Amino acid sequence: MVDKAEIMMDTVAQTSIQELRSNIARRHLIQKLAFGTLWAAALAAVGMLLAITFYVIFNGFQVINWEFLTTPPAGGLGGEGGISTTIVATIYLVGITTTIATPLGIGAAIYLAEYASEIRGARGVMKTVVNVVRFGVETLNGVPSIVFGLFGFALFVTTLQFGFSLLSAGLAGACLVLPVIIRASEEALYAVPRGLREGSLALGATKWQTTWKVVLPAAAPGIITGVILSVGRIISETAVFYVTLGGSLRMPTGLMSGGRSMALHVFYLATETRAFDKSMGTGAILIITIVLINLTINILSRRLSARLSGG
């Protein structure tokens, strides 16, 4: 038995050493080729993104000045004026959507992550409902935004007669970002260690106290990341607001005002005026805003890992 095994190991060892010798140059070559290809792909991808960003920012900066930011657009084919009203409309939109979507989204995520999984006896109806909700959230995340726009147009603009307004746009925008907030919050809640929940319950805290005082604070950076992500989504969204907000250049004065968000303004300037440079200028400001948002998210997630590991 022992002898046989030893002989077998010997033969195996010999052939593999021989193979190694004849292979070695080829393996190095393949390694180099693979590495080179990956490197080229990475370079091309990053290069393309940088090119777009710098092109927009470089061209855009030539029109950006204080006056551009503070005067309202004049309209017309020349695209005269600045972008003040579109900045205000964008801020309004972000405010309305996050006010609506944040509590709803976090609430839904808490339910899905903390309570739904525990439904006892979980037979039939309730479990199906939960699964359908979860599947719905996944699906909505991938639905093209214009579909949310059409839904918003049909329900808020026409049926509920809110017209082209910040209210219609804010509600449609909230629908758009709800899945984003739910997903991010759910993930953040799942990332909270089970030991924390047990530690709290074992002290006689109720399930709700545990959720509110331990789980939510631990998950907060992740949840906030989701909210900020959705702010970025609203700032860069065009299709939904094209069919719910209209395109008014006037300064919005309330929920029922129509308006034009910055991203929408980029679209209108590029397609309906000769002011391509101003379209670039607005685009540059959008890019910078999004970069700032992403930086915030990076800092937050670093703080999350620090908090969960004792920093």
Partner 1 sequence: MTSTRTKLEVNDYFLYYGDFKALDSISVEMPERAITAIIGPSGCGKSTFLRSFNRMNELILGVRTEGAVKMESQDIFSIDVVELRRRVGMVFQKPNPFPKSIYDNVAYGPRAHGIRDRAQLDEIVEKSLRRAALWNEVKDDLHKSGLALSGGQQQRLCIARALAVEPEIILMDEPASALDPIATLKIEELMQELKEDYTIVIVTHNMQQAARASDYTAFFMMHDDRSGYLNEFGPTKKIFTAPENKETEDYITGRFG
Residues that bind partner 1 (CB under 8 A): 118, 120, 122, 193, 195-196, 198-206, 209, 213-214, 217-218, 307-311
Q: Of 5 and 202, which CB lies nearer to partner 1 in the complex structure?
A: 202
- The least distance separating partner 1 from the CB of residue 189, rounded to whole angstroms, comes to 14
The least distance separating partner 1 from the CB of residue 119, rounded to whole angstroms, comes to 9
Nearer to partner 1, 116 or 234 (CB): 116
Q: Hey, how many other C-beta atoms are within 10 angstroms of the C-beta on 2? A: 6
The distance of closest approach from Cβ of residue 37 to partner 1 in the complex, given in angstroms and rounded to an integer, is 44
CB closer to partner 1 out of 113 and 263? 113
Q: What's the min distance (Å) between Cβ of 207 and partner 1? A: 9
| CB of 303 vs partner 1, minimal distance in Å | 11
Q: Which is nearer to partner 1, 124 or 195 (CB)?
A: 195
In the bound state with partner 1, the residue whose beta carbon lies nearer, of 89 and 215, is: 215
